[in-house]
């Protein structure tokens, strides 16, 4: 009986040592992840960052990711910069290119996969008023209207739909009602 007690005590001690090691080496820091999947997109918008130095392109969705590129807000002539969006995660969007808007020749500022903070991107409504939907579906509830001269902040995308914010309203704009250019009304 005594040998069984000693055996059980040794097994418990070994399990305890495995769970709670006596090593004084600090544990590696935990990286916070939101666990969200990247939503595929095929949309465009223009850069609207108030920082005169331009916008950083990051290697992943979040400010902790490495800066892999830099996009000026405007070129020397004051023309804007448009981006093509291929994915969305939280308030970050994945892009594959950033080009000059309205120049004689297409000037590429960034090409490859990179991430931008979505609220630094903008667009506007098209025509007499673009509907703002509660979901990325024209059958969903209409929660407001965006006029063609109202600038809106991007917050994400799904397919060709864009999630925007304007005057404390947040909702979805259909692809044909979102103008991704700072130089035209797209009408």
Summarize pLDDT for 33-80 with one digit per residue, the tens. Answer: 356 799 999 999 989 888 888 899 999 999 999 999 999 876 555 668
Domain residue ranges of the chain, discontinuous segments joined by +? 39-179
Under the banding of pLDDT at 50, 70 and 90, the label for residue 183 is low
The residue assigned the tokens 């979901």 is: 135
- In this structure, which CATH number among 1.20.5.440, 2.30.30.40, 3.30.160.150, 3.40.50.970 belongs to the domain 39-179? 2.30.30.40
CA–CA gap between residue 39 and residue 159 (Å, rounded): 8
CA–CA gap between residue 149 and residue 27 (Å, rounded): 54
For residue 28, pLDDT beyond 80 = no
Q: What is the mean pLDDT of the chain?
A: 79
Q: Give the three-class secondary structure for 10.
A: helix
- 16-33 in b/e form (b: 16+ CB < 10 A) is eeeeeeeeeeeeeeeeee
pLDDT, mean of residues 18-42: 51
pTM: 0.75
């Amino acid at each position: 009986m005594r040998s069984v007690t000693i055996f059980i005590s040794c097994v418990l001690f070994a399990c305890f040592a495995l769970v709670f090691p006596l090593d004084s080496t600090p544990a590696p820091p935990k990286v916070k992840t939101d666990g969200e999947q990247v939503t595929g997109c095929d949309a465009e918008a223009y850069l609207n960052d108030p920082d005169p130095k331009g916008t950083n392109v990051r290697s992943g969705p979040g400010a902790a990711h490495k800066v892999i590129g830099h996009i000026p807000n405007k070129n020397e002539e004051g023309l804007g910069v448009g981006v093509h969006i291929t994915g969305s995660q939280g308030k970050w969007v994945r892009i594959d290119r950033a080009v000059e808007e309205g120049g004689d020749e297409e000037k590429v500022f960034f090409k490859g996969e990179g991430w931008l903070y979505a609220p630094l991107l903008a667009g506007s409504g098209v025509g007499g008023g673009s509907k703002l939907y509660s979901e990325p579906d024209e059958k969903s509830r209409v929660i407001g209207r965006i006029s063609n001269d109202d600038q809106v902040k991007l917050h994400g995308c799904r397919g060709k739909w864009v999630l925007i914010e304007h005057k404390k309203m947040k909702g979805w704009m259909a692809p044909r009602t979102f103008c991704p250019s700072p130089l035209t009304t797209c009408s």
